[in-house]
Amino acid sequence: PDITFIEADGEIHAFEAPEGVSLMAAATGAGVPGIVGECGGQLRCATCHVVVDPAWVERLPPPSSDEQAMLALTAAPCEQGSRLSCQVMLTGDMQGLVLRVPASQY
């Protein structure tokens, strides 16, 4: 699906990502600055924090309890729509998904 990441400074990264990979893998693969993914998707670092556009929050599968627990450890304050991008797997129905990158991951 075509997805868009918006950096904290407003820079936009829009690209097509394959289905079945995580948002974190898609972002790091496309070189989106600000998505670190230090633990490689093991739910141990919280450096893959993204904020899902309000229009999309209800359309994504909800976070697991483990993801919710790690969301308490993000560097930038957690907000409505905050997710760990390594836990969101891309599917074809996410065409047009928009995400905001927080100002900091550390």
Q: Characterize 46-59 residue by residue with b for buried, 16 or more Cβ atoms within 10 angstroms of its Cβ, and e for exposed.
A: bbbbbbbbeeeeee
Q: Using the rule CB under 6 A, is 101 a contact of ligand FES? A: no
Q: Using the rule CB under 6 A, is 78 a contact of ligand FES? A: no
Burial status of residue 16 (CB atoms within 10 A of its CB: 0-12, 13-18, 19 or more): exposed
Is 10 or 61 the residue whose CB approaches ligand FES more closely? Answer: 61
Q: Using the rule CB under 6 A, is 23 a contact of ligand FES? A: no
Provide the binding-site residues for ligand FES, judged by CB under 6 A: 24, 37-39, 41-48, 70, 84, 86
